[in-house]
Structures are given as C-alpha cells and as structure tokens.
C-alpha cells in the first residue's frame, strides 16, 4: 500500500504562484488537469504518471541546491493537454539531503513507493548521477531490468572525481547486479574513448552513435520499447535547442528528443524516467525549459497511444508473418493498433524489432538485433 506519510517527509510542496509568476491558467492547460502537492498530498493511486523534482547538483561539482525543476514546471503547466485519459500528479521536490548519498536515498525511496503501486515516476532536474537512485529503486527489490541512457557522453570516466562522470561503473558492474541489458543512445564519438565502447561491447551492451541514429531515428523505438528505466541527459541535445548544454554545439534536435521520449511513453514496461542536466541559470528565454516540457508532453502522448497496444499473446491483434532466413524459421508480428514489430527467437520468445529487420530477414539476411539477442542468451 502506498505510504503517503512516509514519502511526504522527503518532499517539499510546489508553489505554483512563484513559477507561474501569478499568471492564471486557462481551461485546457496541463496545470488545470494535474493534481499538485500544494496543500494536500495527491492521491497517487488515481494517477498514471507521477512527477517529482530533484535539483541535486553535487554529483557534478559544488553548487547550490536550486529548484530548477520549478522552471520546467512553469513551462509544462502552460501546455495544452490532449490526453485527459492519462491522469497526472505532481508530488513536489525532494528535500536537499545533508549529503549527496542522503538525496539519493530519499529519491530512491520515493521512486520505489511510486513503482510499488504500478505508477510511472518522472524525475525532473539535477545531475545525471541521479540515475543511480532510479536504478537502486529496482535493485533493492531485486528486480532485473533493462535500462536506456540518452547522453552525449558515456559516464564511465574512472579518472574523474565527479559522480556524474562515472556513475555508470557502479550501475553496470556493481555486485550483485540487476541490469539484464543496457542501451546507450546518442554518444558523440569525439568525446568517447574507443576502448570504452569495446568494454561495453564485451558486456553485450549496445551503444548507438548520434550521427547513425539520426539517419533513421525510428530504429530507436524497439531499442527503448523493452526498457524499464530511461535516463535522459540534456547534453545529448544540441546547444541551440537546450542552451544550458555547454558540452557540445551538436547533438539531437529538439524534435528528435521529443520523438525519443514518445518512444519511451510507448514502452509498456517503462516505470522510471529521469530528465537531467537542466541548468536554469544558463537557460536564456527559458528555451531549455520549454524543450524539456515538450519532451514530457510527448512522453505522455506515447503513453496514451501505448495503452491501446494489445498483449503479444492476443494473436487477433497482430498480423503474423512466417519466414526463414539463414535456414532459421521464425515469426514476425506486426501490431494492428500501432504498426510496431516483434520477431521470435529460437527460444520462442518475442523481442521488439523494426520493419527494416523484417525486410532484411525476408531477403535472407540476419538482423543484427537478432544476433545481439542471441549473443546475450548464451
């Protein structure tokens, strides 16, 4: 049962008057739909998606604990809501811990409570190492998961003293470990040591370069579909679309970032989403806050559409294609509702795939996605 009194101790209520500049919302805007923790704690059991702010920055160096999440809320609440069937709640901001570890523990506890009642947590603000709190919310329950990070960097820099530069080492190699599979989306080659990619490949993890992804963004939908955890660092977005990103002028466009978040919303297993790296002080004209707010909007849009997807066992809801490639007989399924694809492995399990995988297999080619899945099963 959801323990409101327990997690409320870790949270500060939202003061909408401050970040809306006392402007009134109008009917149809998200701020008029969302159940916000101002005076009374929201009824989480009535929500589908639960927002929590956490502006912890100590993982990337000294800095004040500002409520940058409120700047995002100021833009998000003003967007018009097209998906009223998806119920939203905002439970406020994580209180600053005496230490960085204290903040991790508080955020982990809140995420765990949200997940325990089958709701999806969306974390706003803070540095990328807060992904550890997302991970340990699963690990403490000994739940084996698939995780996706969208980031220009691969945060495995063991030479850095900053937690945000090397948190993946703890997450991917710590024992006991609960990561079944890890996908890294959007790394930029000139910031990535080749040996780092070799190490991840030996672990059977998959990494996708930003330039390759942009050639066919839709190929990332099956990559994200089976994930339980998504962590999105704004450094993956080009500076012009997210001015607080001082890392690189290159990266995903704003539209592409929104599309990736929509794919996350389509994922039926996605129960923990974090959007990190927002810097309110560097956000001229609130462009980055607007970018994040629109990414959230598309996540909700994906969830609205994904809720209509049938279970894979409901054969009447899928087109079925029996083919053979490289002397291997298999079955491809295409959803009649969303058009998405799955392919069957030799163990009879279906994994997410794309239309291009089906076309390749139909031409007697072996999809790389199929090969990688087989490697991980050995």
Question: pLDDT of 357-367, one tens digit each?
Answer: 999 999 999 99
Residue 259 has pLDDT above 60, yes or no: yes
Q: What pLDDT was estimated at residue 22?
A: 62
List pLDDT tens digits, range 203-256.
899 999 999 999 999 999 999 998 999 999 999 999 999 887 778 889 999 999
Question: DSSP assignment, residue 10?
Answer: T
CATH of domain 4-306: 3.40.800.10
Q: Residue ranges of the domains in the chain?
A: 4-306, 315-377
Q: What is d(CA 344, CA 11) in angstroms, rounded to the nearest whole number?
A: 45
Spatial contact of 238 and 281, defined as CB atoms under 8 Å apart: no
Q: What is d(CA 218, CA 352) in angstroms, rounded to the nearest whole number?
A: 12
Closest CA to 234 of 326, 127, 86: 127
What are the DSSP calls for 118-163, one per residue? T-EEEEESS-GGGHHHHHHHHHTTT--EEEEEE-SS----TT---H
Q: What pLDDT was estimated at residue 320?
A: 95
pLDDT, mean over the chain: 91
Q: What is d(CA 243, CA 113) in angstroms, rounded to the nearest whole number?
A: 34
Band the pLDDT of 61: cuts 50, 70, 90.
confident
pTM comes to 0.94
């Amino acid at each position: 049962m959801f323990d409101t009194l327990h997690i409320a101790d870790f949270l500060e209520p939202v003061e909408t008057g401050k970040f809306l500049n006392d402007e009134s919302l109008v009917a149809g805007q998200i701020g008029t739909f969302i159940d916000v923790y101002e005076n009374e704690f929201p009824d989480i059991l009535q929500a589908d998606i639960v927002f929590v702010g956490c502006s912890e920055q100590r993982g990337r160096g000294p800095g004040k604990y500002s409520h940058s999440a409120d700047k995002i809320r100021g833009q998000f609440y003003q967007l018009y809501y097209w998906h009223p069937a998806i119920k939203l709640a905002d439970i406020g901001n994580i209180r600053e811990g005496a230490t960085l570890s204290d903040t991790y523990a508080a955020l982990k506890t809140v995420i765990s409570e949200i997940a325990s009642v089958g709701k999806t947590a969306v974390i706003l603000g803070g540095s990328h190492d807060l992904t550890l709190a997302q991970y340990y919310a699963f690990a403490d329950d000994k739940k084996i998961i698939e995780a996706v990070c969208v980031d220009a960097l691969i945060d495995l820099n063991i030479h850095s003293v900053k937690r945000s530069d090397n948190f993946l080492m703890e997450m991917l190699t710590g024992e006991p470990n609960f990561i079944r599979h890890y996908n890294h989306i959007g790394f930029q080659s000139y910031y990535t040591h080749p040996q780092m990619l070799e190490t991840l490949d030996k672990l059977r993890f998959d990494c996708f370069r930003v330039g390759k992804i942009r050639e066919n963004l839709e190929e990332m939908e099956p990559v994200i579909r089976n994930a339980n955890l998504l962590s999105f660092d704004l450094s993956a977005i080009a500076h012009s679309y997210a001015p607080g990103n001082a890392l690189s002028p290159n990266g995903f466009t704003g539209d592409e970032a929104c599309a990736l978040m929509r794919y996350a919303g389509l994922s039926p297993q996605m129960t923990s989403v974090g959007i990190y790296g927002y810097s309110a002080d560097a956000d001229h004209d609130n462009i980055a806050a607007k970018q994040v707010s629109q990414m959230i909007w598309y996540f909700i849009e994906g969830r609205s559409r994904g809720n209509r997807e049938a279970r894979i066992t409901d054969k009447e809801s899928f087109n079925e294609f029996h083919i053979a490639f490289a002397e291997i007989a298999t079955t491809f399924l295409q959803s009649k509702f969303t058009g998405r694809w799955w392919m069957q492995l030799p163990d009879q399990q279906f994994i997410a795939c794309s239309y291009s995988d089906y076309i390749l297999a139909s031409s007697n080619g072996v999809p790389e996605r199929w090969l990688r899945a087989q490697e991980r099963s050995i």
